[in-house]
């Protein structure tokens, strides 16, 4: 019988047909989805049928590997900075910086965060970060250009008694006249050099400025100065947000050494309050009167390090409860030679003269040599009173023939008087040289506890720990 061949879809056509053979042509499927067609073989003028089903696959999906990033280059400043990169990729990838100063801190399929460290050099630098296909060759590259540090050369501003505040202060011959004006024109990082002489002013320090005194104008550096210091009769004030220095002055009025201020290589007279600031390699001279004069006060983390402290207190004819040569309320005295005279007067109240009174906690006295003279008095003067405070007292020498410390010079009694930790070397002058350095046979030699030492140098500028163990007292021997 004869039959007709009828595809259901136009993409199949009949190209050849005989009584026993039919050839069909399926066109290429350009879509990515599969498709299906039926071809009906039907009896002409009859009802017999046969059906062929043709299922054709979809076109192959061809993926081109791709990694795209944004941004592709980044300019950053010298400070540490993070760089966020948006990634569009159809493959997995690795993130590979080619410099150590760039690290990957966060990574997802679509977002990468990089961290650049601070550039401490003055030159610019450049790094690349490669986003590389895992197991493939496709890459994208980010370039990071980082600026160098901008260096502002510190200026020196010169001050002489014969100067003029209309000058620019850039040389001795164009020096200004007052420290006050020098501080006004100085910026953080600058130095102010002050010639020997006296400056009748009170002034405020400026944050980040170093004030040096004692020049004779021949120096090329601050280390060329001799021992002469410039004299400031007035007060100094400091409300400082950056490390600031006063060096090479006699400060006749004293003042407050507060946060961020270091006073080095100075002579400090009259009342001095060391509050959060630091005094080093200086001489501190205070003397108490008959009344409640806390002449030297160290509090709030203030530190007096490697200094000579000549603190005296006297109670003469007027009865009054307290005379404290030194008051501590949360401070540290380390590496100092402590001298002075305690005079207890001639009335019963005299027993209330103290060399050091401690209040509060966190008081430390470490590696000091006490050479305090006690004299006069109906009752003896006293070394310490810490009945309302606590004191860590370690590696100290107390020269026992000259001071009648009310606390017996032994560990047990010290502990009983709120000494949180204590060790004391109560020794005779015989074991020390005239400069108070230990003799070779001194019990102070190599007898301290290194755990309490915070300084590299002793009061003479020598290594603080020699021969393995710190000596007791302010001066480290070579023994």
Which residue matches tokens 């070779």?
440
Which residue in this structure is represented by tokens 């989805």?
33
> In angstroms, what is the minimal distance from the CB of 335 to Ca ion?
13
Task: Give the nearer residue to Ca ion in terms of CB position, either 195 or 446.
Answer: 446
In the complex with Ca ion, the residue whose CB is nearer, 46 or 478, is 478
Query: Which is nearer to Ca ion, 269 or 367 (by Cβ)?
Result: 367
Q: 249, 257 in Cβ contact below 8 A?
A: no
DSSP state of 470: E
CA–CA separation, 382 and 390 (whole Å): 17
| Nearest one of 298, 297, 325 to 313, comparing CA atoms | 325
**For residues 321 and 349, is the Cβ–Cβ distance under 8 A?**
yes
Q: Return the number of the residue (294 or 458) whose C-beta is nearest Ca ion.
A: 458
Task: Give me the least distance between CB of 350 and Ca ion, in Å please.
Answer: 39
Q: Quote the CA–CA distance of 448 and 296 in Å, as a whole number.
A: 27
Q: What is the rounded distance in angstroms from the CA atom of residue 121 to the CA atom of residue 412?
A: 56
Taking a C-beta distance cutoff of 8 angstroms, is the pair 287, 313 a contact? yes
Nearer to Ca ion, 264 or 477 (CB): 477
The residue assigned the tokens 């600026």 is: 147
3-state helix, strand, coil in the chain (%, to 5): 5, 45, 50
25 beta partners: 13
Which CB atom, from 171 or from 450, has the smaller least distance to Ca ion?
450
Nearest 5°: the CA angle 135, 138, 143 is 120
Least Å from the CB of residue 470 to Ca ion = 6
- Closer residue to Ca ion in complex, CB, 295/446: 446
Phi, psi of 223 (to 5 degrees): -75, -10
Q: Find the helix or strand (DSSP H, E) in which 184 lies.
A: helix 179-185
Q: In angstroms, what is the minimal distance from the CB of 446 to Ca ion?
A: 4
Closer residue to Ca ion, CB minimum distance, 56 or 466: 466
**Cα 455–chain centre separation:** 17
DSSP 291-324: S----EEEETT-EEES-EEEEEEE--SS--S-EE
What is the closest distance, in whole angstroms, from the C-beta atom of residue 394 to Ca ion in the complex? Answer: 15
By C-beta, is 102 or 397 nearer to Ca ion? 397
Task: For residue 431, give the 3-state DSSP assignment.
Answer: helix
Q: Residues interacting with Ca ion, by CB under 5 A?
A: 446, 466-467, 471
β partners of residue 142 = 129
Q: Tell me the closest approach of the beta carbon of residue 444 to Ca ion, in angstroms.
A: 9
Nearer to Ca ion, 241 or 467 (CB): 467
What are phi and psi for residue 268, nearest 5 degrees? -115, 125
- How far apart (Å, rounded) are the C-alpha atoms in residues 343 and 325? 11
CB of 441 to Ca ion, least distance (A): 14
Separation of alpha carbons 232 and 206, rounded Å: 16
């Amino acid at each position: 019988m004869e039959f007709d061949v009828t595809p259901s879809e136009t993409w199949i056509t009949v190209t050849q047909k005989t009584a026993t053979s039919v050839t069909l042509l399926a066109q290429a499927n350009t879509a990515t989805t599969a498709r299906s067609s039926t071809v009906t073989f039907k009896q002409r003028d009859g009802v017999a049928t046969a059906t062929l089903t043709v299922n054709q696959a979809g076109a192959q999906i061809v993926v081109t590997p791709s990694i795209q990033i944004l941004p592709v280059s980044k300019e950053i400043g010298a400070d540490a900075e993070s760089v966020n990169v948006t990634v569009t990729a159809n493959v997995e990838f690795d993130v590979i910086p080619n410099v150590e100063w760039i690290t990957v801190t966060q990574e997802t399929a679509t977002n990468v965060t990089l961290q650049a460290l601070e550039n401490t050099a003055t030159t610019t630098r450049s790094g690349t970060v490669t986003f590389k296909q895992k197991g493939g060759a496709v890459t994208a590259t980010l370039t990071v250009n980082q600026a160098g540090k901008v260096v502002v050369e510190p200026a020196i501003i010169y001050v002489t008694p014969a100067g003029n505040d209309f000058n620019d202060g850039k040389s001795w011959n164009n020096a200004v006249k007052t420290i006050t004006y020098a501080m006004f024109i100085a910026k953080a990082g600058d130095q102010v050099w002050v010639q020997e002489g006296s400056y009748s002013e009170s002034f405020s320090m400026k944050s980040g400025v170093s004030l040096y005194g004692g020049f004779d104008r021949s120096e090329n550096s601050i280390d060329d100065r001799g021992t002469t210091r410039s004299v400031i009769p007035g007060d100094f004030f400091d409300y400082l947000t950056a490390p600031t220095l006063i060096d090479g002055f006699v400060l006749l009025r004293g003042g407050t050494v507060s946060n961020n201020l270091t006073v080095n290589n100075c002579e400090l007279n009259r009342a001095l309050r060391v509050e959060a600031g630091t005094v080093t390699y200086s001489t501190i001279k205070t003397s108490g009167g008959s009344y409640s004069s806390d002449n030297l006060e160290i509090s709030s983390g203030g530190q007096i390090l490697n200094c000579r402290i000549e603190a005296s207190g006297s109670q003469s004819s007027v009865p009054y409860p307290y005379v404290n040569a030194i008051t501590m309320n949360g401070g540290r005295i380390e590496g100092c030679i402590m001298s002075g005279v305690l005079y207890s007067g001639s009335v019963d109240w005299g027993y209330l003269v103290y060399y050091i009174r401690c209040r509060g906690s966190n008081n430390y006295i470490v590696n000091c040599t006490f050479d305090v003279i006690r004299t006069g008095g109906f009752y003896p003067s006293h070394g310490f009173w810490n009945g309302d405070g606590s004191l860590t007292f370690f590696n100290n020498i107390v020269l026992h023939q000259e001071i009648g410390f009310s606390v017996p010079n032994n560990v047990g009694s010290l502990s009983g008087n709120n000494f949180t930790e204590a060790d004391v070397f109560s020794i005779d002058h015989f074991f020390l040289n005239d400069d108070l350095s230990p003799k070779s046979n001194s019990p102070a030699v190599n007898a301290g506890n290194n755990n309490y030492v915070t300084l590299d140098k002793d009061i003479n500028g020598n290594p603080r720990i020699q021969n393995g163990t710190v000596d007791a007292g302010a001066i480290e021997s070579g023994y």
